[in-house]
Amino acid sequence: MDDNLLIREALKARELSWSPYSNFMVGAALLAESSKVYSGCNIENAAYSPTNCAERTAFFKAVSEGERKFKTIAIVGGLRSSKELSYAYPCGVCRQVMMEFCDPKSFRVIVAASEDDFEVYTLEQLLPKGFGKSDLD
Ligand code: THU
């Protein structure tokens, strides 16, 4: 699965965003080591705090299907009204969820504005000195 294809999946997932309060639509596509792709969108709530980000929707779908190892996530986000997207970086809570299941040095985070306009980071770049499982050993 190449990066462009993963971004395309994230763009498709974004269309399903439930975001009537912020109107900020986010989509994510998570590539597992199994080669399966799990998509996710943000899901807001009238009580606000139960809102779930697109990235965590994708991770929770995958983990609940038995996946434990991941290679790459593609993320796209922007206001419903905007014709062109700019980069939408993952929030701190989503970075921490990535830290639970991914190797910070090799897990790739693609932040995309379109299929051919994107940046790639490792999780370690986005969450330096993160707290993880090994800290509890
Ligand atoms: N959001 C995400 O889906 N992912 C992020 O990493 C940042 C924020 C969503 C949550 C909320 O529905 C909307 O964007 C505005 O914060």
Tell me the pLDDT tens digit for each residue of 81-102.
999 999 999 999 999 999 999 9
Q: With contact defined as beta carbons under 8 Å apart, do 73 and 58 qualify?
A: yes
- Of 74, 100, 101, nearest to 89 (Cα)? 74
Tell the residue nearest (CA) to atom 3 of ligand 1. 53
Instruction: State the residue for tokens 């309060």.
Output: 21
CA 125 to centroid of ligand 1, rounded, Å: 20
Per-residue pLDDT, averaged over 57-78, amounts to: 98
Instruction: State the residue for tokens 């799990």.
Output: 38
CA 26 to centroid of ligand 1, rounded, Å: 6
Distance CA 66, CA 85 (A): 33
Q: Please tell me the predicted confidence (pLDDT) of residue 53.
A: 98
Give residue-wise pLDDT tens across range 31-41. 999 999 999 99
In the annotation, is 55 catalytic? yes
Name the residue of 53, 93, 126 whose CB sits within 8 Å of the most ligand 1 atoms, as the mutation to test its pocket: 53
Residues paired with residue 25 on neighbouring β-strands, in sequence order: 78
Three-class DSSP labels, 106-121: CCEEEEEEECCEEEEE
Kindly state if the Cβ of 53 falls inside 6 Å of ligand 1.
yes
Kindly state if the Cβ of 11 falls inside 6 Å of ligand 1.
no
